[in-house]
């Protein structure tokens, strides 16, 4: 058998295919195209400011962030080119018995891609939870209400006229924000004092072994809970999302995906978010040496030689990732005579 070596993945056809004119018994193929898949992993952080943040410096000695925010930081990017059939470049060809075996052998060797071939990919989505102010409900050490005594006055008639007589009235009122912050700070210092007493043995009760660990662990939990009222709550999760980009001739820059404040990693079609770009720059393919080429008649097999591109993932002018790989639809299309595949 005559051997052929072609440094490209082939997809062969001699007649452009339309749904209305496919001859019976034809073998259908498609030229290959490259789809670029970006698998992006990001750390998504949601910070909710504590309700007593403005009093952290006054009562605890350290300032706190007073505004809530969301932050998405890319931690890993994987760029993978996949080869699939190009639906816009499909062809049909009739094969004789002499060429069928060799032609289909090219398929098994990966030199020809069938029209229905496709590399399946799973696309997992993981979305971060959203923290909110409700996370602080019920954490006040002494509650949200306090008793207050109000002195009311009424006029009482006497021999000399009318006099004001004070009458005390008790009622329940909501504590001011600063008052609750003061109580929370006192509770924090009290917990720290109790931890010191337990660890040093300066208590009426004796703690040892598991009992001491359990007591200290519970006090640590309570301290962190009250501290969150001043310094807020940070929830961190991981997003891992895949995005596909199909390169086109004449286009060098693509919106691959976006980073939104509230959703993290989102598709390029999302209404809001910072655009992360994919830049593809094709290397010079040079010229083809045709000194040994001879024209021949008969049916021709079409195929593509891919362009090698420099791929960059860019965020606001900063390159996050860079690599090289072939992209078929950005390359050149050629043909070779079908009699090359004849059995000898």
Q: For 85-128, write each residue's pLDDT tens digit.
A: 888 888 777 766 666 656 655 554 444 555 555 444 443 333 33
Asked if residue 225 and residue 319 are part of one domain, the reply reads: no
DSSP assignment, residue 114? B
Domain with 240, as residue range(s), is 15-49+75-128+235-341
Average pLDDT, the chain: 76
Per-residue model confidence (pLDDT) at position 132: 54
Q: What is the dihedral of CA 23, 24, 25, 31, to 10 degrees?
A: 40
User: HEC states along 207-233?
Assistant: CCHHHHHHHHHHHHHHHHHHHHHHHCE
Per-residue model confidence (pLDDT) at position 265: 93
Confidence of residue 240 (pLDDT cuts 50, 70, 90): very high
Asked if residue 243 and residue 108 are part of one domain, the reply reads: yes
Which of 171-175, 176-180, 206-210, 284-288 bottoms out in mean pLDDT, i.e. has the lowest?
A: 171-175
Asked if residue 101 and residue 160 are part of one domain, the reply reads: no
Asked if residue 270 and residue 177 are part of one domain, the reply reads: no
Summarize the chain as % helix, strand, coil (round to 5).
Answer: 20, 45, 35
DSSP assignment, residue 59? H
Confidence of residue 129 (pLDDT cuts 50, 70, 90): very low
Full-model pTM: 0.66
Is it the case that residue 69 has pLDDT exceeding 70?
yes
Domain count for the chain, please give it: 2
Asked if residue 112 and residue 169 are part of one domain, the reply reads: no
Asked if residue 244 and residue 283 are part of one domain, the reply reads: yes
> 3-12, 18-27, 152-161: which has the highest mean pLDDT?
18-27
Domain boundary residue, one of 231, 262, 281: 231
From the CA atom positions of the chain, what is the Rg in Å?
A: 37
From CA 99, how far away is CA 105, in angstroms rounded?
Answer: 10
Whether residue 152 is contained in a domain is answered as: yes
Whether residue 307 is contained in a domain is answered as: yes
Percentage of the residues of the chain whose pLDDT score is greater than 70: 65
Asked if residue 246 and residue 103 are part of one domain, the reply reads: yes
Whether residue 57 is contained in a domain is answered as: no
Asked if residue 210 and residue 244 are part of one domain, the reply reads: no
Q: For 246-268, write each residue's pLDDT tens digit.
A: 999 999 999 999 999 888 999 99
Length of the chain, in residues = 344
Is it the case that residue 70 has pLDDT exceeding 50?
yes
Per-residue model confidence (pLDDT) at position 36: 93
């Amino acid at each position: 058998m005559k051997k052929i070596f072609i440094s490209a993945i082939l997809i062969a056809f001699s007649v452009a295919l339309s749904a209305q004119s496919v001859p019976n018994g034809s073998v259908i193929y498609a030229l290959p195209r490259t789809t670029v898949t970006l698998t992006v992993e990001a750390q998504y952080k949601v910070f909710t400011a504590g309700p007593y943040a403005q009093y952290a410096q006054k009562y605890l000695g350290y300032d706190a962030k007073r505004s809530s925010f969301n932050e998405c930081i890319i931690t890993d990017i994987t760029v993978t080119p996949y080869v699939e059939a190009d639906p816009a470049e499909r062809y049909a060809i009739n094969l004789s018995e002499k060429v069928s075996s060799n032609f289909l052998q090219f398929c098994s060797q990966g030199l020809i891609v069938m029209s229905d071939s496709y590399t399946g990919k799973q696309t997992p989505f993981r979305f971060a939870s959203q923290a909110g102010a409700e996370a602080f409900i019920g954490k006040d050490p002494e509650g949200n209400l306090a008793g207050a005594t109000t002195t009311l006055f009424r006029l009482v008639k006497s021999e000399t006229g009318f006099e004001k007589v004070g009458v005390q009235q008790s009622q329940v009122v909501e504590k001011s924000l600063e008052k609750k912050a003061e109580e929370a700070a006192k509770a924090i210092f009290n917990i720290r004092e109790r931890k010191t007493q337990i660890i040093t043995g300066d208590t009426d009760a004796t703690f040892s072994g598991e009992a001491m660990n359990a007591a200290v662990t519970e006090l640590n939990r309570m301290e962190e809970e009250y501290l969150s009222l001043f310094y807020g709550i940070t929830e961190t999760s991981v997003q891992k999302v895949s995005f596909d980009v199909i390169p086109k001739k004449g286009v060098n820059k693509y919106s691959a995906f976006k980073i939104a404040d509230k959703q993290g990693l989102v598709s390029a079609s999302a209404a809001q978010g910072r655009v992360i770009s994919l830049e593809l720059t094709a290397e010079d393919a040079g010229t083809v040496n045709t000194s040994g080429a001879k024209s021949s008649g008969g049916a021709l097999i079409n195929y593509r030689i891919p362009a090698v591109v420099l791929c960059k993932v860019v965020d606001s002018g900063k390159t996050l990732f860079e690599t090289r790989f072939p992209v078929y639809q950005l390359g050149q299309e050629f043909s070779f005579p079908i009699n090359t595949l004849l059995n000898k």
